[in-house]
Structure 1
Amino acid sequence: MFRTRILRAFVAAVLLSFVSAIPAQQLVNGYEPKWWKEAVVYQIYPRSFKDSNGDGIGDIPGIISKLDYLQKLGVNVIWLSPHYDSPNVDGGYDIRDYRKVMKEFGDMGDFDSLLAGIKQRHMRLIIDLVVNHTSDETKWFVESRSSKTNPYRDFYIWRPGHTAADGTRTPPNNYPSYFSGSAWSLDPKTNEYYLHYFAAKQPDLNWDEPKVRAEVYSLMRFWLDKGVDGFRMDVIPLISKPAGMPDLTPEQLQNPPNAYANGPRLPEYLHEMNREVLAKYDTMTVGEATGTTLAQTNSLVDERRHELNMIFNFDAIKLGRPDFGPSVLGPWSLSQLKSIYDAHASVLTKHDWDTVFLSNHDNPRIVSTFGDDSPAMRVPSAKLFETMILTLRGTPFLYQGDELGMTDYPFKKLSDYNDIAIKNAYKDQVESGKVSAEAFLAGQAKVTRDNARTPMQWDGSSEAGFTTGDHPWLAVNPNYTEINAAAEEADPASVLNYMRALIKLRAGTRAFVYGDYKDLDPKNEKVYAYTRTLGEEKYLVVENFGSSAQTYTLPDGLKAGTLLLSDIPSSHQANASTLNLGPWESRIYKQ
């Protein structure tokens, strides 16, 4: 292992010296080429992807059985949501042992086989790094809470809180949890409060403690030495806490993530992480940047800073709803969505890199949230959004089932849900009498994380082919008999087959990776038209955002050019300046 690390460090040093010596003419449109910039990433939520043994829980052997499917889809990086040993209070994001595999998913031998299978198919693997918090069952916290003098005490954030004259105890400050209630819990063993931005069983680590950082870097090396290619870093801007942790102001309480994120020591921690670990490997890093504004993005991803490669900014995916606490879908407009991507293109420089996504394990399905999931419009609507994601500026991230146009689940009652965020919010809002159960459940059905976590729909057999058992851990969407991979495989006009063609087109078109972006008609509320230009190559993307046909004339006398791909089979006039677009139709032209 030690010899391997020395060799990796030597190779990384040689590569770094080579890259720094690249002359300007070898840059692509001012960008330094990287494999992770050219990648198409596919996120797998293991519990819901494929069950191999009939226990109703997806597992690693199940993922292995579908690697050929993913290879055929055309994706080249797999992002695996947490696979670690966990009590599973928050979908695996409460980690008990960072060096073990969750027993429901398999064992380390299964993980090694998965990694080998991915490499054999010329794909790469990134895994979740969840180090803002741990499970309260990890050895570190069990020791930390045992006494105030335990060597692990400072691995977490403990405070005495406030004691009133009558003996009443209150938390150290007014921090709210992402999952409702206070972000502090009183531990009876030592009679002090510990901080948990998320569930009470997810205590926050104290990154000011050097031993914590050393442990994190050690576990990162463990997985990188196995051969994983990088990390998606869970809520990474939260690891540095606000100086002094004072009460939030009334204004800050309206949006706590902005107060929690990007604490004063975050640059120091990320520099150290890069220096001690990441710079020694050829990695891809993407930070889940809750609480981070677009203006703050380059302070994390500017390549000259040597911190992260890219981050997830939530401006687009959270359009119409807040990024904190229970919410409902609010109104949004196409011009608002465009303005987000336009702002990214103008604010981020050639030294920054972006991500493009509208789905993940924490958000409802794209077609049900932004599009039209009615039987008549689901397919073109799903195709349109994937067209957008795969042709905009930045590395595209897809979530399992996007390629099928999977939809939200018809949640009705509280028992339908698994999500701890919903259950805690129900207690906070319904049981306290703030809102009615009917109103709460109707609103949450459209935004719950469980929409993304229903089992993958593989075929029309019992339980969608996800499991051979009778009881999947979360109910399968009842529309699986119409929406499933087997049916779409056999349909040339399916979302699945369109996605394969789209990913293939992107892979062969560097303009969609490194090309300049221009929004041709920012104020248009029906049509999104933009170009991607790289040198002499220019591509036009036109998308009709709506369930009615549109006649659209390109601005500035532009002509469409040669049609490369459309989500609706029909005849198209070459080099037309006026386009007759069908409902939810998207087209890609080469000009």
Structure 2
Amino acid sequence: MKRTWWKESVVYQIYPRSFKDSNGDGIGDIQGIIEKLDYIKNLGVDVIWLSPVYESPNDDNGYDIADYYRIMDDFGTMEDWEELLDEMHARDMKLIMDLVVNHSSDEHQWFQEAKKSKDNPYRDYYIWRPGKDGKEPNNWKSTFSGSAWEYDEKTDEYYLHIFSKKQPDLNWENPKLRQEVYDMMKWWLDKGIDGFRMDVINFISKVPELPDAPNPKGQKYVSGSRFFKNGPRVHEYLQEMNREVLSKYDVMTVGEMPGVDVEEAKKYTNLERNELQMVFQFEHMDLDHDSDKWDYKPLDLKDLKDSISRWQEGLHGTGWNSLYLNNHDQPRVVSRFGNDKEYRVESAKMLATFLHMLQGTPYIYQGEEIGMTNVQYESIEEYKDIEILNMYKEKVIDGGEAHDKVMESIYVKGRDNARTPFQWNDQEHAGFTTGEPWMKINSNYPTINAEQAVNDENSVYHYYRQLIQLRKTHEIIVYGDYRLILPEDDQIYAYMRTLSDEKLLVVTNFSDESVPFKLPEEESFQAKGLLISNYDVDGVEDCSSFTMKPYEARVYKGS
């Protein structure tokens, strides 16, 4: 397998609005990030993925870009950003930026021009259609509720927006639009960035006819995703992007791809096809709900085993996995798959062990490394996320569902769980700001904060440091193959990594009970020592049979 720097890296994601405020306006900013670079470097990470800092009206927290070449005033100036890049490179860390080109903001100059008339040169930068029988062009539902179409009175047509109505979809069928995107990418790469995380990049190709989606239940709007996820020209576009831009730089690329399966991901990530290096897939993030994200159900560990194993085995030797359990769109994993009360530290460490011992490039989301948890605000008014607010309106205000029931879903699955300000210390506003924070701080900051974690050698933070150091010193963690063991166990997730004559045995307990572990007799494993564990373990204990404590994790090296 070809060795590359991006396979051997560990990535830290920063959500800038919530990371660190330097000027007291209550909003995280670029100078705040610069202040904390040594904290991130001390963790051992190699790459920072910076969520959008571009000019934006902030309808979707920066994922609605009004100017791809400017920094949002909330975050600072281009000079601040250039200082950030210099300071990162001085610490031997790389920077990847968000590339958001499935849609722009409706306040982008292109769209302002496109609205003026049907024959405006920018009209074809977006997807416009006339209405049908006095209604929208089709029955597609927006990801953020309601129709995926918005009527424009002046030109008597509708424009497509898979997300918010302030996020009109760009028309990738138009070669001029594609060239604009490539020019912008080159501009940022020439400034010295080290790659891109590409937002919903598998949505850029739509089935040209934009047909109605099947609607057996007769709903007003339904998901049209089968007509825009992994669309007919998406590989052509990405190969063109690679040819025009990416192949000319030594950079890291990861495409966010909801609805991608293993076979499709092989096409996106096979280096011989010249598209991307890895994808963010969501299969394992969809296991704790039914068809609707808000319809929560407990995780079945066997489902997680099936999903992770399918991806580990499917991409091995062909593509490359990105490994994550948290990001800005997902609830906090220690609250989701762990136990954020009695076993917060233990379960946070167990989940980290499970993830970081897999094959792929691991991503750490800010606060994950100190075990930050989900939040429960008392009032819907305290939430900021457009997805949450639209869903609440649709279900409670318009649909008559019970407030308490819907709030429970928000507590468990809402995106704002990940967006509460970073908890730096036990001072006022958790040390995030000297002003009034843009979003309410999680009330548990006096006990869960970075200062406490850095000063406690047994903290989640220092455990992450250990895991990252192990990845840098043991090639098997990066490049070894993966094999699941005990597939039917509904509490223990155990797997074997192998590279030539070296092996790792990874055993994790996903439950709050003490459970027996027994290595199957057919497994050949000669233990040579304990690599890491989240409880004190007797080093001479027989690793083929032992009792696991609640949320325990152990990794043994051997042959």
TM, length-normalised to structure 1: 0.91
Amino acid at match of 1:204: D
Distance verdict in 2 for CA 1:303–1:221, change over 3 Å: same
User: CA separation in 2, counterparts of 1:73 and 1:81?
Assistant: 19
Aligned runs of 1:560-571 on 2, under 5 Å?
A: 560-571=527-538
User: CA separation in 1, counterparts of 2:226 and 2:323?
Assistant: 21
Residue aligning to 2:225:
257
1:276 matched to 2:241? The reply is no
Residue aligning to 1:517:
482
Q: Is the 8 A contact 2:504 2:556 kept in 1?
A: yes
User: CA separation in 1, counterparts of 2:382 and 2:493?
Assistant: 37
Residue aligning to 2:348:
382
User: CA separation in 2, counterparts of 1:99 and 1:44?
Assistant: 20
Which whole-Å deviations, capped at 9, do the CAs of 1:425-456 have from their partners, x for residues lacking one? 12222122341222212212211100000000
Amino acid at match of 1:300: Y
Aligned runs of 1:314-333 on 2, under 5 Å?
A: 314-321=282-289, 326-333=293-300
Residue aligning to 1:60:
30
Gaps of 5+ in 1: 1-30, 164-168
Alignment coverage as a number of residue pairs: 553
- Residue 572 of structure 1, CA deviation: 3.9
1:103 matched to 2:73? The reply is yes
Q: Is the 8 A contact 2:239 2:274 kept in 1?
A: yes
Three-state SS of the structure 2 residue aligned to 1:32 is coil
- Residue 560 of structure 1, CA deviation: 4.5
Distance verdict in 2 for CA 1:403–1:489, change over 3 Å: same
Q: Is the 8 A contact 1:560 1:574 kept in 2?
A: no
Distance verdict in 2 for CA 1:254–1:518, change over 3 Å: farther
Of the three residues 204, 222, 235, the one matched with 1:267 is 235
1:583 matched to 2:550? The reply is yes
Amino acid at match of 2:343: M
Between the aligned residues of both structures, percent identity stands at: 50
Amino acid at match of 1:590: K
- Residue 48 of structure 1, CA deviation: 0.3
TM, length-normalised to structure 2: 0.96
Three-state SS of the structure 2 residue aligned to 1:481 is coil
Distance verdict in 2 for CA 1:42–1:453, change over 3 Å: same
Amino acid at match of 1:237: N
Three-state SS of the structure 1 residue aligned to 2:412 is coil
Three-state SS of the structure 2 residue aligned to 1:177 is coil
Residue aligning to 1:77:
47
User: CA separation in 2, counterparts of 1:354 and 1:529?
Assistant: 19
Aligned runs of 1:126-525 on 2, under 5 Å?
A: 126-163=96-133, 169-250=134-215, 256-321=224-289, 326-374=293-341, 376-469=342-435, 471-525=436-490
* Segment drifting more, 509-518 vs 528-537: 528-537
Which whole-Å deviations, capped at 9, do the CAs of 1:35-68 have from their partners, x for residues lacking one? 1111111100000000000100000000001110
Q: Is the 8 A contact 2:213 2:222 kept in 1?
A: no
User: CA separation in 2, counterparts of 1:546 and 1:320?
Assistant: 16
Gaps of 5+ in 2: none
Quote the RMSD (CA, aligned, Å): 1.5
Q: Is the 8 A contact 2:140 2:223 kept in 1?
A: no
User: CA separation in 1, counterparts of 2:289 and 2:116?
Assistant: 41
Amino acid at match of 1:213: R
Amino acid at match of 2:271: E
User: CA separation in 1, counterparts of 2:318 and 2:399?
Assistant: 51
Q: Is the 8 A contact 1:94 1:201 kept in 2?
A: yes
User: CA separation in 1, counterparts of 2:295 and 2:427?
Assistant: 34
* Segment drifting more, 554-563 vs 183-192: 554-563
Which whole-Å deviations, capped at 9, do the CAs of 1:160-192 have from their partners, x for residues lacking one? 1123xxxxx210000100000000000112111
- Residue 350 of structure 1, CA deviation: 1.0
Q: Is the 8 A contact 2:496 2:506 kept in 1?
A: yes
- Residue 384 of structure 1, CA deviation: 0.6
- Residue 421 of structure 1, CA deviation: 0.7
User: CA separation in 1, counterparts of 2:193 and 2:2?
Assistant: 23
- Residue 580 of structure 1, CA deviation: 2.2
Which whole-Å deviations, capped at 9, do the CAs of 1:473-500 have from their partners, x for residues lacking one? 1110000000001011111111011111
Q: Is the 8 A contact 2:212 2:224 kept in 1?
A: no
Q: Is the 8 A contact 2:213 2:223 kept in 1?
A: no
